[in-house]
C-alpha cells in the first residue's frame, strides 16, 4: 500500500509539472489511464489516484463520456504554502526570505496608519506569547501579532496574505529547539519577544523608519538563527 501511495505521489508530481510547464496545456485531454499506466510502468490504481488528486487540486476536470481534461484555470493556480512544505529548516528559511521584504514595508505602513485599537491588539498578542507555556499557543499568538500589524496598514492585501499563511507564518520553535536541546522554549520566546517589542514601540511612536528597521531586524535575526542551525545540521550529516 505504501509503495502504491509513493508511486501515486511521484506520478502526481510529474503530471503537475507537465501541466504547469505547458507540456500538457490547459484545455487538452489527458492520455487515457491505460496509456499513462503503460508509459509510466505503473498500475491503473496508481494512475487513478494521481488523476483524482489533479482533479481535487483544480488541475483537471472530468467530462462524462469524454475523458479528463486539463483545467483552463490550471495556469492561474493560486500560490500556496502547505504545512508539509514547512517541515524542514531549508523551507522555513525560504519563507523567511520572502517575509523579510514584505514585513519590512508592512511595519512602516502600520506605523503611519495605526489606531489605538491596533496597538491594543498588538499588545494583547505579545502578552499571550509571553504567558504561553505551549509552543503551539505561542505560535498562534505570534501569528496574531503579525495579523494586527497587517490590519494596521489599512491594506487588505497585507491582511489577506498574513491570514492565508496563518500559523505557517511563524517558524515553529519546536523545529528550532529540536536541533538545540540545550536551549529552552523560554529562552527562545524571550529573544523573539525583545524583537517584537522593538517593532511595537516604533509603531506606537508612529516612527515609520524605525518600524521598518525593527521589522527588518526581527526578520534578519530569525533568518540568521535558522540559517546557522541549518548549516550546523548540514555539516553533521
Residues 125 and 148: their CA atoms lie apart, in Å, by 8
pLDDT tens digit at each of 237 positions of the chain = 445 558 888 999 899 888 887 889 989 999 999 999 999 999 999 999 999 989 887 889 988 888 999 987 776 565 556 555 666 778 888 888 999 999 999 999 999 999 999 999 999 999 999 998 877 788 888 889 999 999 999 999 998 888 777 656 666 555 555 555 555 556 667 788 999 999 999 999 999 999 999 999 999 998 888 787 777 666 665
CATH number of 2-76: 1.10.10.10
Task: Give long-range contacts, CB 8 A cutoff, 24+ apart: 80-87.
Answer: 81/165, 81/168, 83/168, 86/168, 86/171, 86/172, 87/175
* Domain 2-76 shares a fold with domain 83-236: no
| Residues 195-219 as b or e (16 or more Cβ within 10 Å = b) | bbebbbebbbeebbebbbbbbbebb
What's the distance, Cα to Cα, between the start and end of the chain in Å? 30
Q: Which CATH number fits domain 83-236: 3.40.50.720, 3.30.2130.10, 1.20.120.530, 3.40.50.2000?
A: 1.20.120.530
Q: H helices then E strands: how many in the chain?
A: 10, 2
> Which one-letter DSSP state was computed for residue 180?
-
DSSP string, 29-58: BPPPHHHHHHHHT--HHHHHHHHHHHHHTT
Residue-range domain boundaries for the chain: 2-76, 83-236
Tell me the pTM.
0.64
Amino acid at each position: 500500500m505504501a509503495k502504491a501511495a509513493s508511486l501515486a505521489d511521484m506520478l502526481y508530481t510529474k503530471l503537475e509539472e507537465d501541466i504547469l510547464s505547458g507540456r500538457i496545456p490547459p484545455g487538452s485531454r489527458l492520455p487515457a489511464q491505460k496509456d499513462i499506466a503503460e508509459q509510466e510502468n505503473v498500475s491503473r490504481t496508481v494512475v487513478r489516484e494521481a488523476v483524482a488528486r489533479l482533479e481535487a487540486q483544480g488541475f483537471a476536470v472530468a467530462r462524462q463520456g469524454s475523458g479528463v481534461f486539463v483545467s483552463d484555470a490550471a495556469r492561474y493556480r493560486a500560490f500556496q504554502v502547505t504545512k508539509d512544505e514547512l517541515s524542514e529548516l531549508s523551507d522555513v528559511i525560504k519563507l523567511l526570505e520572502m517575509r523579510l521584504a514584505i514585513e519590512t514595508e508592512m511595519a512602516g505602513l502600520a506605523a503611519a496608519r495605526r489606531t489605538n485599537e491596533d496597538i491594543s491588539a498588538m499588545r494583547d498578542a505579545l502578552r499571550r506569547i509571553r504567558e504561553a507555556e505551549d509552543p503551539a499557543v505561542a505560535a498562534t499568538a505570534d501569528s496574531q501579532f503579525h495579523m494586527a500589524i497587517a490590519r494596521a496598514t489599512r491594506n487588505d492585501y497585507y491582511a489577506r496574505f498574513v491570514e492565508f499563511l496563518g500559523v505557517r507564518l511563524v517558524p515553529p520553535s519546536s523545529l528550532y529547539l529540536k536541533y538545540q536541546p540545550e536551549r529552552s522554549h523560554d529562552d527562545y520566546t524571550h529573544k523573539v519577544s525583545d524583537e517584537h517589542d522593538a517593532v511595537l514601540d516604533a509603531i506606537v511612536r508612529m516612527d515609520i523608519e524605525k518600524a521598518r528597521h525593527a521589522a527588518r531586524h526581527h526578520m534578519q535575526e530569525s533568518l540568521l538563527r535558522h540559517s546557522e542551525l541549518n548549516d550546523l545540521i548540514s555539516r553533521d550529516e
